[in-house]
Amino acid sequence: MKDRSHDEAMAELFKEDPAFAAEYLNQLLQDGEPADLLVALRQMAEAHGGVRAIAKETELNANQLYRTLSPQGNPELRSLSAVLKALGLRLAVQVAPQQHHHAAAA
């Protein structure tokens, strides 16, 4: 049996279960570091034919997309939306759970 890297295992899991992929990204957006989100997006890109295939589908520069999806990347909203669309996902905004705020007396 061939040993798989963590990235390969995650890519396979994301490909087999898109709902899990979406939930995983949501958790990272809520609780994680931006670098973790970018690593997950790169793993998902690998599950969908690789970063070059995603770059071609989204009409983004492949070298720039590799840099964007690196742990030090800082994707523009347009790039992020295009990558998510190519992965069968979309960016969404939800109301955050209410936190108890103490209003200052006026």
Q: Is residue 40 part of a domain?
A: yes
Please name the residues in contact with 80: beta carbons below 8 A apart, sequence gap of 6 or more: 91
Is residue 15 one of the residues assigned to a domain? yes
Phi first, then psi: what are they for 105, rounded to 5°? -70, 135
pLDDT at 11 over 70: yes
The type of residue at 50 is: G
Q: What is the tens place of the pLDDT at every residue in 19-66?
A: 999 999 999 988 878 889 999 999 999 999 999 999 999 999 999 999
In a domain, residue 14? The reply is yes
Residue 4: phi and psi, rounded to 5, are: -110, 145
Whether pLDDT at 1 is above 60:
no
Q: What's the whole-model pTM score?
A: 0.78
Answer whether residue 102 is part of any domain: no
The whole-number pLDDT of residue 61 equals: 95
Q: Which domain holds residue 76?
A: 6-86
Pick from 92, 72, 73: which is nearest to 81 by CA? 92
* Confidence (pLDDT) at 82: 93
Domain membership flag for residue 96: no
Count structural domains, the chain. Answer: 1
Question: Which of 54 and 2 is assigned the larger pLDDT?
Answer: 54
> Does the pLDDT at position 3 exceed 90?
no
Q: What is the pLDDT of residue 104?
A: 54
Amino acid identity at 17: D
